[in-house]
A and B are shown apart, each in its own frame.
Chain A
């Protein structure tokens, strides 16, 4: 069957034209591509916890908060309060803001003996008299509802807490909002008054910005490093330019496809351009190396291109297919961002394949043959090439120290498994940012001054109207708050109980003894009448059936948060009755869960990737064993990677978990090339050792170049703005190097123990029905049985005049003539050569040594170029043991052949004998 890709070579202008058109068509939509800075894509789709979260927001308002922190020596001065008022008013006017809480917006319940005031803490006119300011200060700092919520304990900092609720699907909200806030902050900042904003919207926006920065900054550097190494390796300009061109074209296609399909660039899909260039160029290197070899072997440009296409189309197709399947398996996860990444990477890799197999041959045809690669007039004496010598030594080393190498590999892997026990899944979004970044500094500062910028809700639901009016329930809530605050891990909790305690105290003229939950339900009901419903709406729902405790904290680590929540669960189980349901929720919790879930998902999808690749390889090599052997040298680096992570305390999170998938996708491709080349070499040379050396000679360079270039490219990510990206880069580089070593050492050893025939060769073997009818040895065998037999043997070719069997030599196998003719002859005691017989297609010879003492009885020479199928006696034994039925058929056929031969010989003898 003619390789369809050859059409590209035959009609380069048409193909080139189509390619250009498609590229332009896909480049057009690229400006439309979205940048997604929301975290919506991170949450698990159809997660029931998400629905509960939405309901809680309906009841109690949004939990998305931004804090604008105002720091002055003392915020209780007229200018500072005026600034706070101005900021509060302007913030309130921003679209999407549901609530603003600050010193100038809250009401203060205050009681003297006879009077009760529910005045605003700061009246409409900001006082200037010191006495008034002192009074406000005293009121503010004396209330637990205000301290650490909107003012710091020392009165040096005030927080304006802004709750926002973006319309779902409004992906630009965070950017618009934080920009508006930034404008307000800029206007109010002045010497003596420091103002800044910190909160989830800003964090997400900065996340997006850093991502963009990485995208724009790191990729060019990676490319430069990558191609510098390539140039050193291939030493031709085309070896650098062509991969760049194919890489960039496939990035354009991928981005265009993403824009068309509405897949946004988020923190994960941002690595796709890097990924495509990285994975893509590996194939370019293999193809270019093959091309250069063919040029050196004497082919002209066009012939070299054609043959290169023919030779490389199978491995490139297989490796692309497995990589696409591998990344594409992420589509089956539940998390939107991963699904998007799965689609984008699968599409991108497919695009890369198309671009490579079309553009690369065209470019080669258009390019002048590089001088270096032209066939030199005098052939190079082999053995004087230093690289060849090195490879020979490597092969010898591999063969000699087979067992020790396997043992060492096993030990290293086992050793690294120790690290697995300390491996933790943990996502800490804030620590994604480096320590000196704005986000980290502000988060710390806010946490130190007051209460952290993060929060979650604890909803206490009695499911009864006015159930919360019961003092018993309120006591439990207060107890829960004390517990949480006692853990030391939260900064502040606030609930309706706090408001009730405040008013109870004030109704008793501010007597501290009354800073407790009121004793009767009626008191609670009546106090609730007096409190400002708007302010308490965050803490008590409309019909009094559920209360909300808002917990402010500084926990950014997902594992720390889930530990705290588990303790909360335990406390609740002990202290709350069955009828009262206590549940926590919040965007932070959802994202934290999703992040951990995502990391685990990536690992499981990696496992399924592994299985998929295994299945594809099994089909390719028609052997489960070969497939497993292909996976081992690639699994080991991944295992060692996780072990290393555990030992070094690097957490498994959304970034680092991708290492496994990416590494496998790339590393395994080298193995496929390696094994396919080995299979080919086995067919040409009948010696496994020679085949190994030849394979290494061909593949060692691409393997080393690609691995080193990739490792270099990944190492560049160490300069990313994001901590996990840095880890991703370092770990991936590590995996590349280990995989390279495994490829050069382990894979040859493992392949040595098996015969590899690829499916392709099988199909090329013309094993059609007629062979089974024309070759008596295969008579009665089914297609599969015939193939099994063929797998156990070798196809060998001999030119005219070659001696196939030497009389007297030790015979180790039997032959079947597939094409051509052989002549069996003997030289008698008189030294005269006498032809015994001429054998044609289907004939069997050499079988007698199987049954006799193993010494060859005659010479066999090729009369014309022949293709012979050779079956080792050891293989026959294996066949007999493993497939007895097939073996039985084989032996039956052999018996038939032998008896036929006997009959012929007898007839010939009788005929040649004189009559007696």
Chain B
């Protein structure tokens, strides 16, 4: 039997916790084997699972029971048994707001430590269909003032993005294949500026880790569609999602060859509205180039109402 994406510990854990669905999800259908659905796989696994003959001493049984008990005690989330996809969905729902306005300071740090500073404002509007619209506009330095990027999340497939360069007085749609391009000289790609697209990714639970004193699920995100794989430029990403508030505080981005390209951090979390949290500091670190981009939120207003016309092509050109 071959399992992908989980290690021996995880297999044991799932077996102990009777997480047949997780095992079925990781089960690899080998070429030449009969086609099986998940429930058939679960049946197969149950068949194959044989208890090892335990010595008919009561002591042995007690030990086994003690081990199981320990396992139960050690894994706190056993009763919840969430899948990675469930967690990502929950994340989206929890941290949704209707609208947001943020002003940010962006610092670009070169390999040698030199710093370039920019200021920008970000508007986010989430419609009743749960799709978001984002507008990012530069405020400073003077040369790039009013340069803007507008993103409309699409239900499935590519989001629409438009770029406005005031000096050219033109708005250009950004072609889909450009998502992997670095945004405005930062370490963030255009793709990184878009909300997590649950439709075009497949999520796999890798396990759990403690990051910055917080317990996190470690989830692997892999492009689920050909198109996503082509456009995103990442073969996979790893996400560390906090167990307590379902906020992703760390991301690792792996390039086409499977090498670690960037690491992203979200820090200084604050609860902004209801169940929604936000990070006041974001950092993207390019391991290879040695550069980093740091975004610091200066001010934020949430759910105060936002004019929808702002997040249109016309709105993009406004102020320019």
B170: A residues at CB distance < 8 A: 507
A117 touches B177 (CB 8 A): yes
Q: Does B79 contact A (CB under 8 A)?
A: no
Q: Which of A93, A107, A114 meets B173, CB within 8 Å?
A: A114
Q: How far is the CA of A391 from the CA of B180 in the complex (A)?
A: 90
Smallest CB separation, A904 vs chain B (Å): 100
Smallest CB separation, A588 vs chain B (Å): 25
Smallest CB separation, B151 vs chain A (Å): 15
Smallest CB separation, A57 vs chain B (Å): 12
Quick one: CB contact mask for A493-506 with B, threshold 8 Å, 1 for yes? 00000000000000
Smallest CB separation, A92 vs chain B (Å): 8
> Given A522-B166, A534-B289, is A120 in contact with B177 using a C-beta cutoff of 8 Å?
yes
Chain A residue nearest to B143 (CB atoms) is A525
Q: Does A124 contact B (CB under 8 A)?
A: yes
Smallest CB separation, B236 vs chain A (Å): 13
Q: How far is the CA of A690 from the CA of B16 in the complex (A)?
A: 116
A58 touches B112 (CB 8 A): yes
Smallest CB separation, B114 vs chain A (Å): 5
B182 touches A522 (CB 8 A): no
The majority secondary structure among interface residues of chain B is mixed
Q: How far is the CA of A520 from the CA of B166 in the complex (A)?
A: 11
Chain B residue nearest to A115 (CB atoms) is B173
Q: Does B299 contact A (CB under 8 A)?
A: no
> Given A117-B178, A123-B177, A124-B230, is A522 in contact with B143 using a C-beta cutoff of 8 Å?
yes
B233: A residues at CB distance < 8 A: 124
Q: Does B317 contact A (CB under 8 A)?
A: no
A124: B residues at CB distance < 8 A: 229-230, 233, 256
Q: How far is the CA of A115 from the CA of B184 in the complex (A)?
A: 17
B174 touches A523 (CB 8 A): no
A117 touches B175 (CB 8 A): yes
> Given A111-B172, A533-B182, is A89 in contact with B167 using a C-beta cutoff of 8 Å?
no
Q: Does B163 contact A (CB under 8 A)?
A: yes
B256 touches A532 (CB 8 A): no
B175 touches A532 (CB 8 A): no
- Residue among B147, B174, B178, B256 with most chain A CB within 10 A: B178
A542: B residues at CB distance < 8 A: 110, 112, 114, 116
Smallest CB separation, A674 vs chain B (Å): 65
Q: Does B267 contact A (CB under 8 A)?
A: no
Q: How far is the CA of A114 from the CA of B173 in the complex (A)?
A: 6
Quick one: CB contact mask for A438-480 with B, threshold 8 Å, 1 for yes? 0000000000000000000000000000100100000000000
* B interface residues, how many (CB within 8 angstroms): 31
Q: Does A489 contact B (CB under 8 A)?
A: no
B144: A residues at CB distance < 8 A: 522, 525-526, 529
A526 touches B174 (CB 8 A): no
Q: How far is the CA of A716 from the CA of B254 in the complex (A)?
A: 59
B178 touches A118 (CB 8 A): yes
Smallest CB separation, A51 vs chain B (Å): 16
B110: A residues at CB distance < 8 A: 542
B181: A residues at CB distance < 8 A: 107, 118-119, 532
Q: Does A530 contact B (CB under 8 A)?
A: yes
Quick one: CB contact mask for A342-353 with B, threshold 8 Å, 1 for yes? 000000000000
Q: Does B58 contact A (CB under 8 A)?
A: no
Chain A residue nearest to B286 (CB atoms) is A534
Residues 190 to 221 of chain B near chain A (Cβ within 8 Å): none
Q: Does A564 contact B (CB under 8 A)?
A: no
B230 touches A526 (CB 8 A): no
Q: Does B168 contact A (CB under 8 A)?
A: yes
Q: Does B32 contact A (CB under 8 A)?
A: no
B172 touches A119 (CB 8 A): no
Q: Does B274 contact A (CB under 8 A)?
A: no
Smallest CB separation, A361 vs chain B (Å): 65
Q: Does B257 contact A (CB under 8 A)?
A: yes
- Residue among A117, A469, A543 with most chain B CB within 10 A: A117
Q: Does B185 contact A (CB under 8 A)?
A: yes
Q: Does A527 contact B (CB under 8 A)?
A: yes
Q: How far is the CA of A58 from the CA of B114 in the complex (A)?
A: 12
Q: How far is the CA of A507 from the CA of B168 in the complex (A)?
A: 8
B180: A residues at CB distance < 8 A: 120
A111: B residues at CB distance < 8 A: 172
Q: Does B165 contact A (CB under 8 A)?
A: yes
Q: Does A30 contact B (CB under 8 A)?
A: no
Q: Does A116 contact B (CB under 8 A)?
A: yes
A116: B residues at CB distance < 8 A: 163, 172-175, 178
Q: Which of B178, B185, B289 meets A528, CB within 8 Å?
A: B185
Q: How far is the CA of A691 from the CA of B175 in the complex (A)?
A: 99
Smallest CB separation, A272 vs chain B (Å): 43
B163: A residues at CB distance < 8 A: 116, 530
Q: Does A125 contact B (CB under 8 A)?
A: yes
Q: How far is the CA of A161 from the CA of B165 in the complex (A)?
A: 32
Q: How far is the CA of A367 from the CA of B166 in the complex (A)?
A: 97
Quick one: CB contact mask for A510-542 with B, threshold 8 Å, 1 for yes? 000000001011111111111111100000001
Residues 525 to 573 of chain A near chain B (Cβ within 8 Å): 525-534, 542-543
B256: A residues at CB distance < 8 A: 124
Q: How far is the CA of A115 from the CA of B177 in the complex (A)?
A: 12
Smallest CB separation, A378 vs chain B (Å): 91
Q: How far is the CA of A524 from the CA of B116 in the complex (A)?
A: 17
B114 touches A543 (CB 8 A): yes
Q: How far is the CA of A93 from the CA of B182 in the complex (A)?
A: 22
> Given A124-B256, A526-B147, A528-B185, is A520 in contact with B167 using a C-beta cutoff of 8 Å?
yes
B230: A residues at CB distance < 8 A: 123-125
> Given A119-B175, A507-B165, A542-B116, is A533 in contact with B143 using a C-beta cutoff of 8 Å?
no
Q: How far is the CA of A465 from the CA of B197 in the complex (A)?
A: 39
Q: Which of A114, A115, A526, A534 meets B143, CB within 8 Å?
A: A526
Q: How far is the CA of A518 from the CA of B143 in the complex (A)?
A: 14
Q: Which of B141, B174, B229, B289 meets A115, CB within 8 Å?
A: B174
Q: How far is the CA of A115 from the CA of B175 in the complex (A)?
A: 6
Chain A residue nearest to B177 (CB atoms) is A119
B174: A residues at CB distance < 8 A: 115-118
Q: How far is the CA of A534 from the CA of B189 in the complex (A)?
A: 12
A466: B residues at CB distance < 8 A: 141, 143
> Given A115-B174, A117-B175, A123-B177, is A523 in contact with B167 using a C-beta cutoff of 8 Å?
yes
Q: How far is the CA of A117 from the CA of B170 in the complex (A)?
A: 14
Chain B residue nearest to A89 (CB atoms) is B257
Q: How far is the CA of A120 from the CA of B143 in the complex (A)?
A: 27
A114: B residues at CB distance < 8 A: 172-173
B172: A residues at CB distance < 8 A: 111, 114-116, 507
A526 touches B257 (CB 8 A): no
Smallest CB separation, B309 vs chain A (Å): 21
B173: A residues at CB distance < 8 A: 114-116
A521: B residues at CB distance < 8 A: 143
Q: Which of B112, B166, B184, B257 meets A530, CB within 8 Å?
A: B184
B116: A residues at CB distance < 8 A: 542-543
A523: B residues at CB distance < 8 A: 165, 167-168
> Given A534-B289, A543-B114, is A526 in contact with B177 using a C-beta cutoff of 8 Å?
no
B178 touches A534 (CB 8 A): no
Smallest CB separation, B41 vs chain A (Å): 31
Residues 118 to 172 of chain B near chain A (Cβ within 8 Å): 141, 143-144, 147, 163, 165-168, 170, 172
16 A-B residue pairs with Cβ-Cβ distance under 8 Å, sorted by A, are A116-B173, A116-B175, A118-B178, A118-B181, A119-B177, A119-B181, A466-B141, A469-B143, A524-B143, A525-B141, A525-B143, A526-B144, A529-B165, A531-B185, A542-B110, A543-B114
Q: Which residues of B contact A (CB under 8 A)?
A: 110, 112, 114, 116, 141, 143-144, 147, 163, 165-168, 170, 172-175, 177-178, 180-182, 184-185, 229-230, 233, 256-257, 289
Given contacts A115-B174, A507-B165, 12 further A-B contacts (CB under 8 A): A89-B257, A118-B175, A120-B177, A124-B229, A507-B168, A523-B168, A525-B144, A526-B165, A526-B166, A526-B167, A527-B165, A533-B182
The 7 closest A-B pairs by CB, nearest first: A525-B143, A117-B175, A119-B177, A116-B172, A522-B167, A523-B167, A526-B165
